[in-house]
Amino acid sequence: MMNCITDFFTYETTKSVVVKSWTIGIINRVVQLLIITYFIGWVFVHEKAYQVRDTAIESSVMTKVKGFGVYNDRIMDVADYVTPTQGASVFCIITKLITTENQIQSSCPESELKFQCKSDDSCKDMIERQKPGGNGLMTGKCVPFNATLKTCEIKGWCPAEIDSIKMNPMMEVENFTIFIKNSIRFPLFNFTKGNFLPTITSDYIKKCNFNPVSDRYCPIFKVGDVLKFAHQNFSTLANKGGVIGIKIGWVCDLDKSEDECNPSYSFTRLDAVSEKNSVSPGYNFRYAKYYKMENGTEYRTLLKAYAIRFDVLVNGNAGKFDMIPTLINMVAAFTSVGVGTVLCDIILLNFLKGADQYKAKKFEEVSEVQVDKSTSYFNGMYRSRDHSQTSIKHDEKQSSDSGAFSMGQYG
């Protein structure tokens, strides 16, 4: 019983072999220096490992578009061309509209060429083969569309929309401005800030336009500029529609002054897939306005809108000094210095002149007799095993000044 206790209250320390060799000495120090430089330069200074990070940024975005355009001899204002109207972080500016007026519920010929027919039979055939599409439910009849052309008849909103007509987009959109109000909060540090920096005055806001060099913090963006920064062509986008991302990045070091926590804006096209393929290019959607006649019959105006959609995306993180990550990373740094010994051991025991002598010094062979005599020097761990073997190779568990790396594999 007493033996057990005294065996338990012992301290094990490793025996080191000091090698006085210039070659291995220099390699050892150089490797250690590299590891220390990496930790100080990259991990601590560049990656700021001494800070705790908050990546769960909370944010609110409000937007407002301004400008007047001319389309179809009509002056268009914000209520006409921005949808949805709430001024959220995602909004569309309509650049082109295809209008089909006075539609009522009835039967009429299809307007698309792919529904061309010769007889009722070909229309019935089409019902079986076609995927859902067209402008209404097919009745299976073939009716004249105009003097020369016959198409299948549909039941639905008539007359059917003809969306192949060429329309010019509203070019004034290029000069419209987007105003973005963004507030953010880092909940971990309870830090709040907005993209209206204290330096911004109302006089400045009235005349500024965002520019990455001269007006980096102006919250007003010209549509044409945004597209230019996203490397897009305005007239292509206005014709086909598309989705543009306005990214607001907040990367803040809260150990520094609050004034240094500023937004950075960047712009990209988000619907890269529609940019490249021709199957579904651009962005468009349909909506309708409903009316009622005196006699109660409902009619509507169908609008097919080509729009540039803007998504305001906010991301960011903030860091602040904290004891826990500092300690963890310092411990990691100190233990990593020991990794150098692995490399040095490989060189020392395999490639250096006199490797055999080093090996002999490093791995002491102890015979059975000796073990019996010196049992008391080892603690309980080895005892039972030693007796069953004729000789043991006593591997040092650690080979140098730091680190805890078993060298058994070289024995």
The yes or no reply on residue 175 touching ligand NAG (CB under 6 A) is yes
The yes or no reply on residue 233 touching ligand NAG (CB under 6 A) is no
Total residues binding ligand NAG (CB under 6 A): 4
The yes or no reply on residue 208 touching ligand NAG (CB under 6 A) is no
Q: CB of 134 within 8 A of CB of 112?
A: yes
| Structure-token match 């002054």, residue found | 257
* Contacting range for ligand NAG; rule: CB under 6 A; set: 168-176, 195-203, 288-296, 385-393: 168-176
- Shortest approach of ligand NAG to residue 170 CB, angstroms? 9
* Bridging pattern class, strands 90-109 and 298-321: antiparallel
Subset of residues 315 to 354 that bind ligand NAG, contact rule: CB under 6 A: none
- Shortest approach of ligand NAG to residue 92 CB, angstroms? 19
CA distance 282 to 383: 78
The DSSP letter of residue 160 is P
Q: How far is CA 5 from CA 2, 9, 379, in A?
A: 5, 6, 12
- Shortest approach of ligand NAG to residue 70 CB, angstroms? 9
136/224 with CB nearer ligand NAG: 224
* Contacting range for ligand NAG; rule: CB under 6 A; set: 116-124, 171-179, 281-289, 399-407: 171-179
Single residue of 174, 271, 386, 396 touching ligand NAG by CB under 6 A: 174
CB atoms within 10 A of CB 190: 8
* Contacting range for ligand NAG; rule: CB under 6 A; set: 27-35, 42-50, 167-175, 262-270: 167-175
Q: What token pair was written down for 375? A: 């049992």
CA distance 229 to 293: 48
135/239 with CB nearer ligand NAG: 239
> Is position 189 annotated in a ligand binding site?
no
Q: How far is CA 299 from CA 104, 138, 154, 162, 213, in A?
A: 5, 20, 17, 17, 52
97/314 with CB nearer ligand NAG: 97
CA distance 339 to 345: 10
Q: CB of 311 within 8 A of CB of 90?
A: yes
The yes or no reply on residue 16 touching ligand NAG (CB under 6 A) is no
> Is position 397 annotated in a ligand binding site?
no
The yes or no reply on residue 171 touching ligand NAG (CB under 6 A) is yes
CA distance 406 to 404: 7
User: Which residues contact ligand NAG (rule: CB under 6 A)?
Assistant: 171-172, 174-175
Name the binding residues for ATP. 64-66, 177, 284-286, 304
